[in-house]
Amino acid sequence: MALDVENHLDAVERSVSSPERDGQPARAVTLTRSYATTVEDLWDAVTNGERIPRWFLPVSGELEDGGRYQLEGNAGGVITACEPLSHFALTWEFGEDVSWVEVRFSEYGAGSARLTLMHTAYLSEHWSEYGPGAVGVGWELALMGLAIHIEQPTEPMPDEVDFATSPDGRAFIAGSSEAWAQAAIDAGAEPDAARAAARRTTAFYTGESADPA
């Protein structure tokens, strides 16, 4: 399946902010992308346990307000809010780390729906090393998978490792990392540090060297 890397990169709006969470300094990444479908279909694709594995990861648990979920080989947590066709929120628990995800849905012109995802975590050494791309690139890959699923619902999901090491995958990850570096710079980060963090993020996802070209 041919992938229009630039089109997928251009489809995402990215921002970085510095809120507080429970009185502690935090960082938040926000991604927004529109899809050529209805809000009802977009909501179902993101919340239906039978559809989620077609574009993201297998999920188990109670996918309802107050329920606990678990993504296979990844994070689990508690769904802390759920208003159908509008928004949901959950804790994102991986190892000993806890962060927070909120997803909102809205109509976006004729025949289009919009998804906005915000992931907030306490400020940490991990952020200093990788910047917003560590979270941002991962979610951007997921939102691209969601777009492919909505456009071609019968297509199987590409293998994650095969994609990350393919020419298209490397180009997408590098482009996303660089875009997140720019979002960090726009939010006040020191440019050289932001770009170095982006190189480390790209290397993390692709397995290649983080040394400057």
Task: Give 157-201 pLDDT, tens digit per residue.
Answer: 888 888 888 999 999 999 999 999 999 999 999 999 999 999 999
* Domains, the chain, ordered by start: 5-205 (3.30.530.20)
107: left (phi over 0), alpha (psi -120 to 50) or beta: beta
Phi, psi (rounded to 5 degrees) for 56: -130, -100
Output the pTM of the full model. Answer: 0.94
Residue 65: phi, psi to the nearest 5?
-55, 125
pLDDT digits (tens, 9 = 90+) for 60-103: 999 999 999 999 999 999 999 999 999 999 999 998 999 999 99
